[in-house]
C-alpha cells in the first residue's frame, strides 16, 4: 500500500503552523521536486528531535492539482463549496499549497517552517501563515473540548485515507480548512448553560447536553445519514486554536477518504434541514477562509518529485 503522509493520522500536537502559498511561476517540475524535499525536511527534524513528535502534511489546492500533476486527478477533488445563508457565510479561497507543520516544540515548528519557506520561496507568495496551539486539555477557545469524538485506532485510517476505491490515490486524503474568527466578547457574555445548549455538550465533562437541540453544533455536525451504522465519525478533525490580542479563533482542518462528508456537514450547519435549524454557534463565529486540498501519499509525491 502507498504510505500515507504521517501527519494525517498523527495524534494532536502542542503547536502547529499552517503555511498557505500561491504559486507565482510555471515551473511545475521544480515545485514537484521541492514538495518531495519538504517531506525530507519533516523526516530530518523527526529523526533529530524524536521527542518533539514532528508531523507534517503537504496539501495541494483543488485548482492547482491538475497543473502540478497533469493527467491525474483524485476522483472527488473539487473546489471548496462556498455557501451563504443570511449572515452565515463560508467563503472559498483555496490557495495553491497548504503545508501543515506540527510538533510538541514551538522552536521546532518554527525551524521547520523557516526551512520549508526558504525552499519554496522562489516559486511562491505567502498567502496566510497561522500559528496554532493546544489550549488547556484540547479545548477550543470557547472552553469546549474539541475533537474528543474523533475516530480512534484503525477507524482513523479508514475514515481519513483513500483505499481501493481510487487506485491511483491510495493513501491520499481530502483536506478541508476554514479559519474561524470567534466573537469572544459576545460568547463570554452568555451563561454556561446557554453556551452548552449552543454546543450541545457540557463544558466540564463533555457529555451530550440535555438541552441539545436541532440548532446545537453537536446535532448539526452529526448529520445522521453520514454516520455509519455504529454512529462512528465520518471526518478526522485536526483543528487547533490560534490567538493574538486582536483575533481569536479556530483553524479548522479535516481529513477524509471522501470530500462529501465535510460538504454535507457544512451545509447542515449553515442551512439546517428546516428553516431556522442552522448551527447557532455560527452566530458567535465567522469563517474568514475556506480551502479544499488533496494530500497525496508519500510515494505519490516522491515518485513525481523525480520527473
Ligand atoms: C469554529 C469552528 C468550530 C468549533 C469551535 C467546533 C467545536 C466543536 C466541539 C466543541 C465539538 C464537540 C466535541 C467533539 O465531539 O469534538 C464539535 C464536534 C464536531 N464538530 Fe465541530 N467545531 C467547529 C466547526 C466544525 C465544522 C466546520 C465541522 C464540519 C463541517 C465540524 C464538525 C464536527 C463534528 C463531525 C463533530 C462531532 C459530532 C459528534 O459527536 O458526532 N465542526 N465541534
Question: What are the backbone angles phi and psi of residue 101, rounded to the nearest 5°?
Answer: -125, 125
76 contact partners, CB below 8 Å, separation of at least 6: 166, 174, 258, 259, 260
132 contact partners, CB below 8 Å, separation of at least 6: 15, 16, 17, 18, 240, 241, 242, 251
Check: CB of residue 257 under 8 Å from CB of residue 160. Answer: yes
Q: Is 14 exposed, middle or buried (0-12, 13-18, 19+ CB in 10 A)?
A: middle
Check: CB of residue 252 under 8 Å from CB of residue 170. Answer: no
Domain ranges of the chain: 6-306
In this structure, what C-alpha cell is assigned to residue 282? 455560527
Task: CATH number for 6-306: choose from 3.40.50.920, 3.40.50.10540, 3.30.70.1030, 3.40.50.300.
Answer: 3.30.70.1030
Q: Confirm or reject: Cβ of 236 under 6 Å from ligand 1.
A: no
Q: Confirm or reject: Cβ of 289 under 6 Å from ligand 1.
A: no
Compute, in angstroms, the gap from residue 94 CA to the centroid of ligand 1: 21
From the alpha carbon of 222, which atom of ligand 1 is closest?
Answer: 41
232 contact partners, CB below 8 Å, separation of at least 6: 151, 155, 159
pLDDT one digit per residue (tens) for the chain, 307 residues: 589 999 999 999 999 999 999 999 999 999 999 999 999 999 999 999 999 999 999 999 999 999 999 999 999 999 999 899 999 999 999 999 999 999 999 999 999 999 999 999 999 999 999 999 999 999 999 999 997 778 888 889 999 999 999 999 999 999 999 999 999 999 999 999 999 999 999 999 888 888 888 999 999 987 655 444 344 568 999 999 999 999 999 999 999 999 999 999 999 999 998 878 899 999 999 999 999 999 999 999 999 999 7
Active-site residues, by number, are 146
Neighbours of 89 (CB within 10 A): 15
Q: Confirm or reject: Cβ of 252 under 6 Å from ligand 1.
A: yes
From the alpha carbon of 144, which atom of ligand 1 is closest?
Answer: 10
Measured by CA distance, the residue closest to atom 41 of ligand 1 is: 222
Residue 233 CA to residue 246 CA, distance in Å, equals 34
Q: Which residues share a beta bridge with 180?
A: 250, 287
pTM recorded for the entire structure: 0.96
Amino acid at each position: 500500500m502507498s504510505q500515507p503522509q504521517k501527519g494525517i493520522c498523527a495524534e494532536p500536537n502542542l503547536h502547529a503552523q499552517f503555511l498557505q502559498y500561491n504559486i507565482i511561476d510555471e515551473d511545475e517540475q521544480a515545485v514537484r521536486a521541492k514538495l518531495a524535499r519538504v517531506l525530507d525536511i519533516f523526516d530530518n527534524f523527526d529523526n533529530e528531535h524524536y521527542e518533539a513528535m514532528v508531523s507534517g502534511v503537504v496539501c495541494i489546492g483543488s485548482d492547482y492539482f491538475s497543473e502540478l500533476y497533469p493527467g491525474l486527478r483524485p476522483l472527488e477533488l473539487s473546489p471548496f463549496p462556498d455557501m451563504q445563508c443570511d449572515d452565515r457565510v463560508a467563503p472559498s479561497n483555496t490557495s495553491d499549497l497548504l503545508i501543515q507543520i506540527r510538533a510538541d516544540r514551538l522552536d521546532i515548528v518554527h525551524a521547520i517552517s523557516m526551512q520549508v519557506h526558504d525552499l519554496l520561496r522562489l516559486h511562491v507568495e505567502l498567502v496566510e501563515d497561522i500559528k496554532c496551539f493546544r489550549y488547556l486539555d484540547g479545548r477550543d477557545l470557547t472552553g469546549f473540548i474539541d475533537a474528543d469524538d474523533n475516530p480512534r485506532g484503525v477507524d482513523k485510517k479508514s475514515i481519513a485515507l483513500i483505499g481501493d476505491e481510487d487506485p491511483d490515490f491510495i493513501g491520499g486524503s481530502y483536506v478541508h480548512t476554514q479559519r474561524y474568527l470567534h466573537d469572544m466578547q459576545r460568547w463570554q457574555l452568555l451563561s454556561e448553560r446557554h453556551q452548552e445548549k449552543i454546543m450541545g455538550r457540557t463544558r466540564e465533562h463533555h457529555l451530550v447536553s440535555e438541552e441539545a437541540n436541532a440548532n446545537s453544533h453537536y446535532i448539526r455536525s452529526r448529520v445522521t445519514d453520514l454516520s455509519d451504522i455504529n454512529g462512528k465519525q465520518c471526518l478526522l478533525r485536526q483543528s487547533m486554536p490560534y490567538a493574538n490580542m486582536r483575533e481569536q479563533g479556530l483553524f479548522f482542518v479535516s481529513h477524509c477518504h471522501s470530500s462529501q462528508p465535510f460538504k454535507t456537514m457544512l451545509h447542515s450547519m449553515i442551512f439546517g434541514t428546516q428553516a431556522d435549524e442552522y448551527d447557532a454557534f455560527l452566530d458567535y463565529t465567522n469563517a474568514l477562509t475556506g480551502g479544499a486540498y488533496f494530500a497525496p501519499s508519500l510515494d505519490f509525491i516522491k515518485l513525481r518529485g523525480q520527473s
